[in-house]
Amino acid sequence: MIHPTAIVSSQAEIGSGVSIGPYAIIGAEVVIHADVEIGAHAVVEGPCEIGRGTRLFPFSYIGQAPQDLKYRGEPTRLVVGERNTIREYATLHRGTVGGGGVTLIGDDNLFMAQAHIAHDCRVGSGNIFANSASLAGHVEVADFTTLGAFVGVHQFCRIGAYAFIGGFSKIVKDALPYARTDGIDAKCYGANTVGLRRRGFDKESIRRLQRAFHLLLVSKLNTTQALAEIRTGLAGTPEIDYLIKFIETSARGVTK
């Protein structure tokens, strides 16, 4: 189902059940899997791959060259997983050679209007990017996070799983998993209790995370001392073990 006004490169691969709307442009080296819906005036450039069931709304732009002054036209890629929703004017860019050559997007993400995913980012699955939430290059976002409107994430930062980032926040260090982080001068405000309940976490798991964040944020212990206390009294569950590993592997430091 390709509208007669759409421009589709002869080098593009189009799967079954794909719908391409009026004035959409599909470039060379684009692979579109089955049941993808591409709205009017959307633009997809390659090399780029779009997973099954993904929906691109009008005027979304994906697969463009990275906004990196070091980029010299090398063949890099964007890979988008299945069932993603990419709203109006959202932009997802290809990778750079220096960053591994690929930008990766998982499944079931919602990118609201004007959201931006820069080169070499790694985005997991089940995430929500509100209007104009933006990732700079080389950012890693885990699964089931929420980024509020106009959030800006600095290069090479990480957003941990189940994190909630409040609108207009400026993230310059790693944002802790399972936590609420907010503010132009971003700070962590403890466990994302409401979000964890909605995601099906049981009371005991939430209690343990609340205790861990109390040690990290409220006690007078430094981070090393707090981690030692968390290991002694709380380690052994997937959530606590992931939180410990996230902090220990942070290159930029974590937002506290």
List residues with catalytic annotation. Answer: 119-120, 137
Residue by residue, pLDDT tens for the chain (256 residues) are 999 999 999 999 999 999 999 999 999 999 999 999 999 999 999 999 999 999 999 999 999 999 999 999 999 999 999 999 999 999 999 999 999 999 999 999 999 999 999 999 999 999 999 999 999 999 999 999 999 999 999 999 999 999 999 999 999 999 999 999 999 999 999 999 999 999 999 999 999 999 999 999 999 999 999 999 999 999 999 999 999 999 999 999 999 9
Residue 20: its pLDDT value, please? 98
3-state secondary structure of 37: strand
Q: Which fold has domain 196-248?
A: Udp N-acetylglucosamine O-acyltransferase; Domain 2 (1.20.1180)
Residue 174: its pLDDT value, please? 98
For domain 7-138, say whether CATH 3.60.110.10 is its number.
no
CA distance 155 to 172: 8
- CA dihedral over 165, 242, 251, 104, signed as positive or negative: negative
CA distance 109 to 127: 5
Global pTM exceeds 0.85 = yes
Name the residue ranges covered by the structural domains of the chain: 7-138, 196-248
Give Cα 18 to chain centroid, integer Å: 25
β-strands 187-191, 179-182 pairing: antiparallel
Residue 87: its pLDDT value, please? 98
Residue 76: its pLDDT value, please? 98
CA distance 153 to 158: 9
As a whole number, the mean pLDDT across the chain is 98
What are the φ/ψ torsions at residue 95 (nearest 5 degrees)?
Answer: -80, -175
